[in-house]
Amino acid sequence: MENKRRVVVVGMGIRSPIGNTLEEFVKSLKERRSGICIMPEWQNIKRLRTRVAGLCNIEGEEELISRPYRRSMGRVAILAALSAIDAVKTSGLSEEEIASQICGVSYGSTEGSTGNQMDYISKIIQNRSLEGIPASWYLKCMSHTCAANLSLLFHTRGPFMASCTACVSGSQGIGFGYEAIKTGKADIMITGGADEVDFLSAAVFDLMMATSSNYNDRPSETPRPFDANRDGLVVAEGAATLILEEYERAKNRGAPILGEIEGFWTNGSGMHLTNSDARSMEECMLSALEDARRNPEEIQHVNAHATATSHGDEVEAIVINKIYGPNVPVTSIKGYMGHTMGACGAIEAIATLLMMREGFIASTLNLVNPDPALPPLNHVMGESWDQRFRVGVTNNFAFGGVNTSLVFSLV
């Protein structure tokens, strides 16, 4: 018998370089505000080319998380928890519903708290001693720290998944949560992704010559997705949480249904650990459409991964053009806040849902001269468009040859 369980979004929360509430986030997109800033503390790091990043301002917000839970959280888990607290609150779900076997967690991050990891390991190496190292240090640094701390914070007892797949961690977090509900393993899932910025985050890409460095004195002008003058990505931090629920259950309790996840797919390229692969990206996007039972012609907006790297943007443009043609509106919101790594898929999912609900399509900030060497796309440039759409796609790609595609719609 065909499985007809549908999955909807009933709560959302965000922490980003351009806003810590959904309202502020939308306002920043409409007003074309950049969240990129200069990092003075990176000036003395030898051979580090990039000097800019996207940071979240959560000063004082940590107190929203009670101390017993906060002790095992590094910055990445704190960002995740703050966004999750907001998302759970807007969902209207009771503490009893969340703290039950029908509710699980599917949450991603590139790794644990990089800042804590650097701090503790450097002390151990320099002092050749464990003196002053707290027993909880590993809990802040472990790769599944976000999912684990969220499960503890909300006392969930359902399915538990932690995606640690670099830049698709957040989108896989949502996708695996969607699959858990669709297949009847859960009725409610806390999903999303988070990441924090440390100079090591920048160094990873910097060593590969993939970071932006030509705009170190003009941070608001970078990154430049799809632009002829793009010179690389800008690392950033953030978190986004989406509460998913089985549709009939949500409808029966009168939940605020913010949108529906119609399809999801993830695959590997089996080709290269860092270079994007057109064939596997195409297969991923088409499989997500098949899961959603949608034709490419039905998609009314594509939220591109587009990190502003030379090769990545080129391959993605080729695949979008091949599947969707030159007319579907295309946006990359990384121009506003940089590449939030493990959080980007979840943040971009929320951006897509908010644009659908608010009746606008955000432009790609800093896209001034589309690269003529790339296939033509219907780039949203300049002011945002007042345009309603009901079906949109978000795509994300990561080191390791990992691809994701999610299909969203309004109910």
- pLDDT band per the 50, 70, 90 thresholds, residue 282: very high
Q: What is the pLDDT of residue 1?
A: 38
- pLDDT band per the 50, 70, 90 thresholds, residue 7: very high
Instruction: Check if 305 is active-site.
Output: yes
Inside any domain, residue 355: yes
* Local structure of residue 308 (DSSP, 8 states): S
Q: What is the pLDDT of residue 132?
A: 84
Contacts of 150 (CB under 8 A, 6+ apart): 77, 80, 81, 84, 105, 107, 156, 190
Inside any domain, residue 314: yes
* Local structure of residue 253 (DSSP, 8 states): T
Inside any domain, residue 32: yes
Question: Is the per-residue pLDDT at 265 higher than 90?
Answer: yes
Inside any domain, residue 84: yes
Q: What is the pLDDT of residue 78?
A: 98
- pLDDT band per the 50, 70, 90 thresholds, residue 91: very high
**Helical ranges in 217-341 per DSSP H:** 247-252, 278-292, 310-324, 334-337
Inside any domain, residue 40: yes
Inside any domain, residue 3: no
Q: What is the pLDDT of residue 131?
A: 87
Question: Is the per-residue pLDDT at 2 higher than 60?
Answer: no
CATH code, domain carrying 214: 3.40.47.10
Q: What is the pLDDT of residue 3?
A: 58
Q: Mean pLDDT, to the nearest integer, of 99-113? A: 96
Report which of 113, 332, 125 is spatially closest to residue 226, judged by C-alpha positions.
Answer: 332
Inside any domain, residue 188: yes
Q: What is the pLDDT of residue 271?
A: 87
Q: Mean pLDDT, to the nearest integer, of 213-228? A: 98
The active-site residue, picked from 141, 164, 284, 305, is: 305
Question: Is the per-residue pLDDT at 288 higher than 90?
Answer: yes
Inside any domain, residue 368: yes
pTM assigned to the model: 0.97
Owning domain of residue 95: 8-409
Instruction: Specify the number of domains making up the chain.
Output: 1
What's the rounded Cα separation, in Å, for the pair 217 and 141?
32
Question: Is the per-residue pLDDT at 108 higher than 50?
Answer: yes
Element (H, E) at 171: helix 169-182
The active-site residue, picked from 144, 339, 344, 379, is: 339
> Is the four-CA dihedral 269, 271, 276, 277 of positive or negative sign?
negative
The answer to whether residues 237 and 197 touch, using CB atoms and an 8 Å cutoff, is yes
Percent residues over pLDDT 70 in the chain: 99
The active-site residue, picked from 56, 103, 146, 167, is: 167
What is the b/e burial string over 204-227, where b = at least 16 CB atoms within 10 angstroms of the residue's CB?
A: bbbeeebbbbebbeebbbbbbbbb
Q: What is the pLDDT of residue 25?
A: 98
- pLDDT band per the 50, 70, 90 thresholds, residue 119: confident
Mean pLDDT of the chain: 96
- pLDDT band per the 50, 70, 90 thresholds, residue 135: confident
Q: What is the dihedral of CA 284, 363, 293, 191, to 10 degrees?
A: 70
